[in-house]
Amino acid sequence: MSIKRRVFLFLFLFGKVSLLDNGLARKPPMGWMSWGYFMCGVDCETHPRKCLKQKLILSVADTFYNEGYQEAGFEYIIIDDCWSEKQRDRNGRLVPDKKRFPKGMKYIADYIHSRGLKFGMYTNVAEITCMHYPGSKGHFSTDAKMFADWGVDYIKVDGCFVGEAFLNKAYIKFGQHLNASGRPMVYSCSWPYYIEFIHHKTPDYKTISRHCNMWRNYHDVVTSWQAIKTIITHYKSAYDQLSGHHGPGQWNDMDMLIFGTGSLTDSQSRVHLAVYSMLAAPLLLSCDTSRITKYEKELLLNLELLAIAQDPLGIMGRPFELETSITLWVKSHLPRKGDKYHSVSFALINLEEHASSVTFTPGLYGLNSTDGYTVMDVFTREFIRNVTLNESILVTVPEEDVILYTLFPL
């Protein structure tokens, strides 16, 4: 058989040859990333509490390790933009800022790894990063190798300052260099965001999902309830476009959680985390972890909620507009009864400033166990009732709040 025919046969038999196969991110990554709260925190003398430096990164590792976050699944600790010196060294390598990261990145990686956690870093495909630090253009191979040498487990790659054609090539190329480095690294791409919102084209999610483990679809989150509402509304309208490209190893990324920034009421924080969990989105905190409230922490460590967020099937929850101002999100997940009947979660989300009541029939949204289901409230962990397929449930959702039920097949 000629090589061509063999290749053809191979393609024919294993259609998705180029699917990113680094074995990582089988569940949506959880952790902490610097950008949302610390941003380009380089002016440490004027703003010591917003300073992006070694001590901060190590303290997040300690918090995850000591305070139960690690057991709940929080794993990656990621340094975003503004970590390097303004110049590469004589050998063309990026140099960590000498004041803020005096011991270098390998030291931080080792510290994080000694805690059983994972380490992430950031670059941009252009000559400079979004905040004008040296970027990776012209240095893909050197940088990929260097990240691998440092022990990086996750790399966020931004897409500022380059054209559409370059983005489409560069993300694939950088991924190949990551692969060639021999160290598996979660590959987080900002690719579709730039295609859609900077270059005003439609992202090719089929290609993107073959090359990246996760990718940003939409604008950066900021620390306000308004921003969270806008993000939720965006994903509701983009469900059809995104859901087919979402699953183990390939995730749509809604951007960071804003817990610990004093931006949300308790009910708003429930909505924030419930929707991200229903969508099986990555869960990355970005805050001074000492400012996470007791209630926020309780939510972040709610294992019933995390079981939905981190379900191995990785199904993106589907939104349904109900007659009132409530959106119903529905997501199938494990455990299954036998191999046929999934558990299903129902999140009734009210973004309005007034309470709403609604009656819904779970059986109309893909349930099929004729033995019925038992209903648990995910936030109170209380048993609500048993339902059959034709029964309805009446709920009142307070303003800016969510009722979240998991139905387990009986």
Q: What are the residue numbers of the active site?
A: 158, 220
Name the segment binding ligand NAG (CB under 6 A); options: 76-84, 86-94, 156-164, 180-188: 180-188
Q: Single out the residue of 340, 380, 382, 394 in contact with ligand NAG (rule: CB under 6 A).
A: 340
Residues 193 and 212: beta-carbon distance below 8 Å: no
Choose between 100 and 210: whose C-beta lies nearer to ligand NAG.
210
**Which parts of 355-384 interact with ligand NAG (CB under 6 A)?**
366, 368, 374
Name the segment binding ligand NAG (CB under 6 A); options: 177-185, 226-234, 238-246, 262-270: 177-185
Q: Could you tell me how many residues of this chain bind ligand NAG (CB under 6 A)?
A: 17
Residue 210 binds ligand NAG (CB under 6 A): no
By residue count, the chain amounts to 410
Name the segment binding ligand NAG (CB under 6 A); options: 95-103, 176-184, 196-204, 262-270: 176-184
Residue 243 binds ligand NAG (CB under 6 A): no
Residue 21 binds ligand NAG (CB under 6 A): yes
Site string for ligand NAG, 40-79 (x = CB under 6 A): ----------------------------------------
Of 86, 79, 190, 80, the closest CA to residue 133 belongs to 86
Q: Single out the residue of 2, 89, 91, 182 in contact with ligand NAG (rule: CB under 6 A).
A: 182
Q: Token match 């387990």: residue?
A: 408
| CA dist., res. 35 & res. 13, Å (int) | 43
Of 269, 325, 318, 324, the closest CA to residue 293 belongs to 269
Q: Is the CA virtual torsion 266, 270, 271, 272 positive or negative?
A: positive
Q: Which two tokens stand for residue 298?
A: 């309780």
Contacts of 257 (CB under 8 A, 6+ apart): 36, 272, 273, 276, 283, 284, 285, 286
Residue 390 binds ligand NAG (CB under 6 A): yes
Residue 184 binds ligand NAG (CB under 6 A): yes
CB of 132 to ligand NAG, least distance (A): 30
Contacts of 343 (CB under 8 A, 6+ apart): 332, 333, 334, 335, 336, 406, 407, 408, 409
CB of 184 to ligand NAG, least distance (A): 4
| CA dist., res. 315 & res. 188, Å (int) | 19
Going across the sheet that includes 373-377, the strands are: 318-321, 326-337, 341-350, 401-409, 373-377, 383-387
Residue 141 binds ligand NAG (CB under 6 A): no
Residue 179 binds ligand NAG (CB under 6 A): yes
Residue 386 binds ligand NAG (CB under 6 A): yes
Choose between 285 and 307: whose C-beta lies nearer to ligand NAG.
307
**Which parts of 316-335 interact with ligand NAG (CB under 6 A)?**
332
Q: What is the Cβ-side half-sphere exposure of residue 370, based on CA atoms within 13 angstroms? A: 0
Instruction: Using DSSP, state whether 173 is helix, strand or coil.
Output: helix
Q: Single out the residue of 224, 230, 241, 388 in contact with ligand NAG (rule: CB under 6 A).
A: 388
Name the segment binding ligand NAG (CB under 6 A); options: 67-75, 104-112, 280-288, 340-348: 340-348
| CA dist., res. 374 & res. 343, Å (int) | 10
CB of 151 to ligand NAG, least distance (A): 13
Question: Footprint of ligand NAG on this chain (CB under 6 A)?
Answer: 21-22, 179, 182-184, 332, 340-342, 366, 368, 374, 386, 388, 390, 410
